[in-house]
Amino acid sequence: MSIDRLISMANQIGKFFESYPDAELAKEGIATHIKNFWAQQMRRQLVSHVIEKQGQGLDHLVTEAIKQHQAILA
């Protein structure tokens, strides 16, 4: 899948969790959703994008969620 599509999908997930009053719970929710519903290759692609491109195109909350919960996503 193209990285642009993955970025778009991840940002949509982030928008949902953005409304959480606790940013840590929001980041955990983003990472958990991606872990539970995305194929491993998609998750690895997204983690690589965050590492190699500093999450270019991703919302800040999504980038932080991936960095913080990288171990469960890869």
Residue in 5, 3, 29 with CA at minimum distance from that of residue 16: 29
- Cα 63 to Cα 17, 39: the distances in Å are 13, 18
pTM assigned to the model:
0.95
Give the domain ranges of the chain: 3-73
Question: Over its length of 74 residues, how does the chain's per-residue pLDDT go in tens digits?
Answer: 999 999 999 999 999 999 999 999 999 999 999 999 999 999 999 999 999 999 999 999 999 999 999 999 98
